[in-house]
Structure formats: structure tokens, C-alpha cells
Amino acid sequence: MDLTFSERERAFRDELRGWLVDNPPSPEPSDGGEDAHYAWRRDWQRRLYDAGWAAPAWPAEYGGRGASLTESAIYFEELGRARVPFAANTLGLLLGGPTLMVWGTPEQKERYLSPILSAEEIWCQGFSEPDAGSDLASLKTRAVKDGDEWVVTGQKVWTSGAQYSKWCMLVARTDSEVAKHKGLTYFLMDMEQEAVQIRPLRQITGEAEFNELFIEEARIPDANVVGGVGNGWKVALTTLMNERAGLGFALQIRLRQLLDDVIQAAGEKGLLENALYADKIADLHVRCETIRLLAWKGLTDAERYGQPGPEGSLVKWLWSDTNQRATQLAADVIGPEALTSGTSWSYELMRARGNTIEGGTTEVLKNIVAERVLGLPRLKVAV
């Protein structure tokens, strides 16, 4: 792994850094609630899009810049450095678009990719169900063929951003006669139909970032099957690998910022002289560096072997654990303000609770690391 940037990479970084200085996001709205906040992020994505910075890693033919993986990492580092918000259509940009690029038909790419980039059409991920989270292949939502359409009935849960979404990456069962992961199909479901009801689920932070979806005979045209009927498991894995690799890289940069803020606050309060705090901060610093280098190694492997490897699970596990520790330390350093509703510190503390569940629980990630990174024997569960 060589972390020295080439001339081209340095030019890429300098151009983006300059653009971010000249084009900061508009001020974060202080009222208007979640909808106003989301509109603000949508507006920010639109600005990135207009300047060609919404998804530089996408090939130029789809509206990106054909950036290399290293340039893509630089992109996330610079966005983090500038402390700008996440683009509104994060799931479309990091998960949906890349999945369509691998599995989509030319018509699907032509139709869907551009509105993802511009945030005109927001995407959500309809994978989890009340009885199928970690064990995704057990999902029960059914799709039955009716002429040149599919009729879908079932329930999804924890669907982030569904309330703003036009399209849902939906995995449904199309064949219950075959082995469970072979009977799945990946669809693009139009969320704007009566048959899809969205009910918000309020989190500990007070916001309703995710939702329940009740689907009662929703219609999906055959043209919206992605990757072929019965091939949904493989297509879903592409989405999940992009979730752990792409999102993982962006998130570890946010963690570094949070820790830097904690260190600054600890310094201002004279706590860096206190051995207890200094020890915890040093531990978190080492963890952050480890995660950063692992994330870079993941990119190098992806560049070398053509796809992200199972190490992405290690980054996601260490990031979620370290982010929880960092937000807890922040509460000790900041004091009562960090435990007061409505402050950014209390938001970080409470939002971090879900980190060890979303995008793969820690237990499941540890299984993947044990089996696929360390090569330990597979766990056999007695039945």
C-alpha cells in the first residue's frame, strides 16, 4: 500500500479543495425540523451535481468523473475536512447507482442513474423485514408475476429515507420452491403508489430517519427487475458490499472529526493533563488511525482485485465500536450539555447506538471476519 499521492491525485485534491472553499453549503436550517434539514442536504447535493462533484467515482458516461478509488477516497477526505453535510441521496449514490452499473440493463442505466446524481429521485433500501434482518435470505415479501408486471405484498422495516424516496431497492421472494437464497429477485419499486404505505419509526434521537413499509399488491413492471429473476441474492450482495466499503470509508472520516472536536474540547477544559482522559483519548486516536489505514488497505485491495473484500466488515465493526466510545467520552468531556436534548453532542451520543446494528450487526460482522478474513472454521449451530 502506497499512500503517496501522484501528481494527478494531488491536482484532483487541490481542485476539489478550492471548489469547496469557494462554494460552501448554505447555512444549516435551525428550524423546520427534519424536512427542512433534508431539503438542505438535497440542495447541497444539487450544487455538487451542477459542479460535477456529486459522484466523481462514477464513470464519465454516467455523469461522474471516472475517478480512481484513491481519488474517490480523497473526495471523501476532502468533504470531511470541509465539514459539509452528506448528500441527500447517499443510498442512491453509494449503493443503488453502483449496483445498477453492475447489474442494470442499458435502459435502466439510462433511465435511473442521472436523477440519482442530481437528487431529483431519492432511493431507499427495502431489504430488512420484521423476521429477516441479519438472515436476509429468509425474507417473506412475495412478488407474483401478472402479465408483464409483478404484484408485491409484504412488509419491510427500518427503511431509511423512505419518506423522501421515489425508488426502493426491493428484494422479494419470487420462488418458494427452491433454496431460500435462490428464490429472491431484486426490483426497483416505485414508492409513489397507494399500495405502498410508509409509517415513520421514531428513534432515540427523536427523529424518524427510518420507517415501516406496508406493501399491499404494489405493481412493479417486469422492466424493473434488476439482474434477472431469481438472481436477487447476488444483486443484493453487490449493494451490501458497496454499503460496507463505500459508506465505511466516508464514516471513518467523520469519526476522526468527532474525535478531533473532543480533543479540542478536552484541551480547553485542561483535561489533557488528566491521565484518565489522556489515556482514553490516546486509545481512541490509535483506533482511528487503525481504521483509517484499514480503510485505505481495503481500497488498495479493491483496486488490485476489482472488488471490495471482506475486510470492509472489519472496518465497519471497528468504526461502530469506536464511534460509540468516542461519543461516550465526549459526554464526559463536554458535561451536561452533551446530555441535553437538542444539542449536536447529545444527537451524536444517541445516534451512535444504532451504529452496531445498521449495515450489519457487530456479531454478524465478527462471524464474517472470523470465517473470511482469519479463515477460522464456520460456526455450526445445533438445531
Ligand X SMILES: Cc1cc2nc3c(=O)[nH]c(=O)nc-3n(C[C@H](O)[C@H](O)[C@H](O)COP(=O)(O)OP(=O)(O)OC[C@H]3O[C@@H](n4cnc5c(N)ncnc54)[C@H](O)[C@@H]3O)c2cc1C
> Nearer Cβ to ligand X, position 56 or 312?
312
Cβ-based nearer residue to ligand X, 160 or 324: 160
Q: Which is nearer to ligand X, 126 or 298 (CB)?
A: 126
Separation CA 350–CA 134 (nearest Å): 22
375-381, long-range: CB < 8 A, 24+ apart:
none
Q: Closest distance between ligand X and the C-beta of residue 363, in Å?
A: 3
Taking the complex as a whole, the smallest distance from the CB of residue 184 to ligand X amounts, in Å, to: 13
Which residue stretches of the chain are H helix?
A: 7-22, 33-50, 69-82, 90-91, 97-103, 106-117, 232-242, 248-268, 275-305, 311-334, 344-351, 362-368
Q: CA 20 to CA 62: how far, in whole Å?
A: 23
Residue closer to ligand X, measured from CB, 163 or 252: 163
Give the nearest distance from C-beta 90 to ligand X in angstroms: 10
**With 0-12 CB in 10 A as exposed, 13-18 as middle and 19+ as buried, what is 120?**
middle
User: How big is the chain by its Cα radius of gyration, in Å?
Assistant: 21
Residue placing its CB nearer to ligand X in the complex, 84 or 357: 357
Q: How far is the CB of 162 from ligand X (least distance, A)?
A: 8
Nearer to ligand X, 53 or 210 (CB): 210
Q: How far apart are CA 58 and CA 129, in angstroms?
A: 30
Structural contact between residues 118 and 46, judged by C-beta atoms closer than 8 angstroms: yes
- Between 240 and 338, name the residue whose CB sits nearer to ligand X: 240
Which one of the listed residues 243, 289, 303, 358 is annotated catalytic? 243
> CB of 248: closest distance to ligand X in angstroms?
14
Query: What residues make contact with ligand X under the rule CB under 6 A?
Result: 124-128, 133-134, 158-160, 210, 354, 357-358, 361, 363-364, 367
Between CA 34 and CA 12 the distance in angstroms is 34
Catalytic site includes residue 194: no
Say if CB 124 and CB 91 are below 8 A apart.
yes
CB of 135 to ligand X, least distance (A): 6
Query: What angle separates helix 311-334 from helix 275-305, to the nearest 10 degrees?
Result: 160
Report residue 204 as a C-alpha cell.
432515540
Report d(CA 167, CA 158) in Å as an integer: 16
Report yes or no: 259 and 326 within 8 Å, Cβ to Cβ: yes
Closest chain position to ligand X (CB): 133
Q: What is the 3-state secondary structure (H, E, C) of 281-326?
A: HHHHHHHHHHHHHHHHHHHHHHHHHCCCCCHHHHHHHHHHHHHHHH
Q: How many CB atoms lie within 10 A of CB 8?
A: 11
Question: 287 in the Ramachandran plot: left (φ > 0), alpha (ψ -120 to 50) or beta?
Answer: alpha
Residue 222 CB, shortest distance to ligand X, in Å, is 23
Q: Which residues belong to the active site? A: 243
